[in-house]
Amino acid sequence: MNRKILFLTSARYPTEKAYGVTTGNTVRALREMGEEIEIWNPGNSGNDEYGNKLVLIGKNNRIDRKKLYELTILGIDRWTYYLDQLKFSLDSLKGIMKENENLCIWSRFPLVCLFPAISRNVKLVVIELHHQPNFIARQILRIIKRIKPLKVALISRKAEDQFNLFDFGIETFTLEMSVPESFIHQNVVPLESPPVISFLGKSQSSGHSNNLELMFEAFSKMKISHQVAIEIVGLEKTESERFNRFARQLSIPSTQLKFIDHLPHTNVSEYLNRISIGLVPYELNKYNSGRFPIKIIEYASKGIWILAPEKFANNLQIPTDIIQTYKDGDPLDLSEKLDVLIEEIRSTGRRNLAAIEFAQLHTYKNRAAKLVLQLGL
């Protein structure tokens, strides 16, 4: 009997957030390889923008905002995250009991896989982790391992090494972040002049600061700032207004600074074609230690010069010819590195060809092939 893959997510899907982009593209690549696969989710049926089949699981599965507010008042809102997943897990089991007997379930959430793993129809569980598991997730992983063959995918070799320190005895493999082949710059035309510095993302990720204040301080210290354009893409309106005020306090000319509140992911590739320098200002902390921002691969695919703090970049274990670094917490060092890059770009227009070659190794086609190799049903 042919196998079938079910991607289980209790989170909102489709979404333009990084996990939605990664999921949609990976599932499409798997379909193009001939795999039968569906995305089981709590909100939608039909097809997503990638042509992937969506299956609606449960009715009104997610706890609504009013109830969430009430739980917040009671101080137990953090448990709604687990309640959502438990309910979705149970509803998924009901659906799985009606499926064939050669299923692989794949998810980013260990708790979501708990009840489906009980079913005899499920032959393998694959859990893709983008952060090191907390105490509850670790216990769920141990339970699943006892009842079903389990593999855990980590998004970098460093994250895989950190996970294995828990000594679960679980088979692991790396499943790196990727980029659509269509993103990769085929005609290596010179970078535009004046150079454009860009940051794509939010000011916070899951409540953790993305360190944008330091980035703006560096802009104010640049010696050749009049020869560059600065674009901040993706902030919420209130955050754009806050950083606009902060920029004025730092005397950053408004003529050089542009805020773009929202950029549909379908337009990201075209937008990046005219960018010269991409910033990834994240400091290394517990939250970021297992993270691999998708924007790094997207920047690299265009031959954009990438700058990140030393500790965060070193944790990613990416060669320095792909990501250049500056001293952590030092806006002056970042400004000096920007000045050097800008001067080189203005004089040569050269793209980072090593970054393009790196991106070519990290396409969704390659990601899907690696996942299929690990399924081994």
- DSSP letters spanning 36-104: -EEEEESS--EE-TTS-EEEE-SSS-SPPHHHHHHHHHTT-THHHHHHHHHHHHHHHHHHHTTS-S-EE
pLDDT digits (tens, 9 = 90+) for 68-99: 445 544 555 567 788 889 999 999 999 999 99
With 90 as the cut, is the pLDDT of residue 369 above it?
Answer: yes
Say which residue the tokens 């923008």 belong to: 49
Within 10 angstroms of residue 371's Cβ, the number of other Cβ atoms is: 23
Distance CA 102, CA 119 (A): 11
Q: What is the dihedral of CA 166, 168, 170, 172, to 10 degrees?
A: 0
Q: What separation in angstroms does the CA of 316 have from each of 3, 56, 163, 303? A: 34, 36, 15, 18
Spell out the domains of the chain, with CATH numbers in brackets.
4-178+362-375 (3.40.50.2000), 182-360 (3.40.50.2000)
**What is the average pLDDT across 245-254?**
95
What are the phi and psi torsion angles at 340 (to 5°)?
-65, -45
How much is the CA Rg of the chain, to the nearest whole Å? Answer: 22
Distance CA 339, CA 335 (A): 6
pLDDT digits (tens, 9 = 90+) for 260-270: 988 998 999 99
What tokens were used for 251?
Answer: 């005397």
Distance CA 151, CA 169 (A): 10
Distance CA 342, CA 355 (A): 17
How much is the pLDDT for 65? 45
Half-sphere exposure of 191 (CA within 13 A, CB side): 28
What tokens were used for 300?
Answer: 């690299």
pLDDT digits (tens, 9 = 90+) for 115-173: 999 999 999 999 999 988 999 999 999 999 999 999 999 999 889 998 999 999 999 99
pLDDT category at 67 given cuts 50, 70, 90 is: low
Judge contact between 144 and 110, C-beta under 8 A: yes
Judge contact between 22 and 178, C-beta under 8 A: yes
Q: What separation in angstroms does the CA of 69 have from each of 38, 63, 64, 77, 81? A: 32, 10, 9, 8, 13
What tokens were used for 155?
Answer: 């998004």
Half-sphere exposure of 289 (CA within 13 A, CB side): 11
pLDDT digits (tens, 9 = 90+) for 319-347: 999 999 999 999 999 999 999 999 999 99
What tokens were used for 305?
Answer: 């010069």
With 80 as the cut, is the pLDDT of residue 275 above it?
Answer: yes
Distance CA 210, CA 277 (A): 17
- Residue 238, classified by CB atoms within 10 Å of its CB into exposed (0-12), middle (13-18) or buried (19+), is exposed
Distance CA 194, CA 96 (A): 56
Judge contact between 106 and 126, C-beta under 8 A: yes
